[in-house]
Amino acid sequence: MTLNKTKTKPYTATRNACKMCTPLGAALVFHGIEGTIPLLHGSQGCSTYMRRYLISHFREPVDIASSNFSEDTAIFGGSDNLKLAIGNINRQYAPAMIGIATTCLSETIGDDVPMILNGMGDAVENTTLVHVSTPSYTGTHADGFHGAVRAVVEQCNPLAARLEYDPDTRKKINLFPGMLSNEDIRHLKEILGDFGTEPAILPDYSERLEGPSWEEYQAIQKGGTPLEEIRAMHLALATMEFGSILAGTVEQGGTSAGSFLKESFDIPCTSLGIPVGVKATDSCLSHLERLTGKPVPEKYKQQRGRVIDAYVDGNKYVSGKKAVVYGEEDFVLAIAGFLAEVGVIPVLCASGGKSGLLKQALDTLLPKDKDIMDRVTVHQGMDFTRMEEQARELAPDFVIGNSKGYTMARHLDIPLVRVGFPIHDRVGGPRILHIGYKGAQALFDTIVNTLLQSRQDRSKTGYAYM
């Protein structure tokens, strides 16, 4: 008797994903709004996981409430748990807003959170409740971040508040910068201030998640975008939104905070790539010049000149080097553009995101005259195990991304340049400057010095002069 043997494809699963859970991004947004407490509607483990990542990166206290699902809640629904959690938060914190993000469990059982919140009536009379749907099986932490920004803007700017658009009466500029560092946000404030405009930035966790030591306990840290600024976003002169991938999803029928304001209130919205590197910063400042009618301040021209001079000085150390770039899609795109600008080939661009737009965006961004794209491998929905396998074949000189790539870099025996989020094996992650000419200068110096140190460490004799 012979048995029919059929070949089956080996089962593969994600191993060390190149992303974090969707509600994490939403929780970060809510921490960037003044007087707001994030609440995860789901199990206690979800909020613990989010706190761990945020605390290890920002080195600050991070409170994230939970509706504490149990086995019974998973079967009969979480309505009572959610109402109890909101009541407890109100009593303990007296917040201006509670940002509610739904986790995989509450989404899977089908809890109708908007209906639950509408049924609470006057129980939360002085607290704004904002809900965003963030099941992790549909996206990444970046998706949760953008979804939360959109939800806050939509729910704080009802269509009934619509007024006729009149640019002569509008002064503020809305800025949705995406998931940048605290130092990036502070630098953006400086840039817009130098153009004589006061921005409404959402979110702004630059002070709340990096403030001075407390003399007395603060239930909610100071800082964050004021609610009154968010509620006035439909009265702005214009909107700027960073993220080429985000813009691509809008073109495919998705929505963003900027597209909502444009469609609902006729506020012009410009989508730009994250301004990392000289070329991307040029584009950002040129847009601000047109928007404000004011020339680029002289100090930025000086910064631009210095970074280009640095590019020339360090070119021999980076030209033709190969790098692996990973992280959330828009950040990978921005870093890859910067690397190509300084002469480094981003041979592998990898992300856990699955927009399907990264390769096309890179093809548009990277220089055509150097045929760089022919040497670039692009992967989405990637994990670090497969990334390491791919990188080993490409023989990169260094990897650049967050701390989650440390093990890969160690196995490949090449240096890791830490950028983005999360940085949890070094201090100072929130203070890394990526954007603008100053950010380009800092990144370039870090990459050059990392490569020089690697050469010195590998030398049998060592050398003290370059």
Task: Tell me the mean pLDDT per 10 residues along the chain, length 466.
Answer: 51 79 96 97 91 95 92 84 94 95 91 89 83 93 97 95 84 95 98 94 96 89 96 96 97 96 96 98 97 96 98 96 97 98 97 96 90 93 94 97 97 97 95 98 98 91 78
CA–CA dist 103, 24 (Å, integer): 10
Q: Mind listing the domains of the chain with CATH numbers?
A: 22-157 (3.40.50.1980), 170-209+219-292 (3.40.50.1980), 315-458 (3.40.50.1980)
The predicted structure's pLDDT at residue 15? 81
Radius of gyration of the chain (CA): 23
Cβ-contact 269, 204 below 8 angstroms? no
Predicted pLDDT at 12: 63
Residues 6+ apart with CB under 8 A from 149: 29, 176, 202, 203, 256, 257
Model pLDDT, residue 36: 97
Pairing of strands 173-176, 199-201: parallel
- Continuous segment of H or E residues that includes residue 352: none
Q: Which of 231, 281, 272 is nearest to 248 (CA)?
A: 272
The CA distances from residue 127 to 67, 120, 205, in Å, are 17, 12, 20
How many CA within 13 A on the CB side of residue 378?
20
Q: What is the pLDDT of residue 1?
A: 45
For 399-423, give one letter per residue: b (16+ CB within 10 A) or e.
Answer: bbbbbbbbebbeebebbbbbbbbbb
283 and 272 Cβ atoms separated by less than 8 Å:
yes
Closest CA to 285 of 187, 363, 368: 187
Q: Where are the alpha helices (DSSP H) in 128-204?
A: 141-156, 182-194
Is the entire prediction scored with pTM above 0.75? yes
d(C-alpha 269, C-alpha 403), whole Å: 34
Q: How far is CA 123 from the centre of its chain?
A: 34
Q: For residue 177, what pLDDT is reported?
A: 97
